[in-house]
Amino acid sequence: MAETEGSSSGGCFGKLTSYARTRKGTILAAEIILSFIILICYAISKYGGYTAVAICEMVFASIFFVVFMMDLDKQFLVVNWIWSDLIRAVIGAALYLITSLICVIRGAGDGALITGGVFGLLAGILFAYDSYTIYLVLKSSRQHTAATTDDTV
């Protein structure tokens, strides 16, 4: 029975492709790919110390991609996934922008470091856009309920 249910919905690959077509899935996939490109650029440069940012952000984006793809955010209610994703995206944007500016300024004579810095600036902008879209989701999901003003006490 489990095989027929999995094959009718396309299985894991079907979930992957259908989630990657959504706006959030596309953003997360782009973050993973950009982080991988930045990781390669930083790894082949003379100064390989900046690879930690790319590794961490790629791993965290992959984790959130899998969690949202498999709808685990609806099963594990202990973690507030939207706020966790917002914190991840804000920290990622800040770290990428800071380290990329350092790499671009410092990278005279090291083409791989400058290339990684330029891609890092693009990743910082992408992470900032992700933060903005998450903020809009949080803002729209917040429900304002009017407090009762009962004057007959």
- Residue 1 belongs to a domain: no
**What does pTM read for this prediction?**
0.84
Count of the separate structural domains present in the chain: 1
- Residue 7 belongs to a domain: no
CB 50 within 8 A of CB 103: yes
Question: What was the pLDDT predicted at 48?
Answer: 74
Q: How far is CA 72 from CA 12, 38, 92, 104, 106, in A?
A: 13, 28, 22, 39, 42
**Helix H or strand E encompassing 151:** none
- Residue 121 belongs to a domain: yes
- Residue 30 belongs to a domain: yes
Range(s) of the domain holding residue 134: 21-141
Task: Write out the chain's pLDDT in tens, 153 residues.
Answer: 334 344 445 788 888 899 999 999 999 999 999 999 999 999 999 877 889 999 999 999 999 999 999 999 999 889 999 999 999 999 999 999 999 999 999 888 889 999 999 999 999 999 999 999 999 999 998 865 455 565 565
- Residue 51 belongs to a domain: yes
- Residue 151 belongs to a domain: no
- Residue 10 belongs to a domain: no
Query: Which distant-in-sequence residues (6+ apart) come within 8 Å of 123 by Cβ?
Result: 31, 34, 35, 38, 57, 92, 96, 100
Question: What was the pLDDT predicted at 115?
Answer: 94
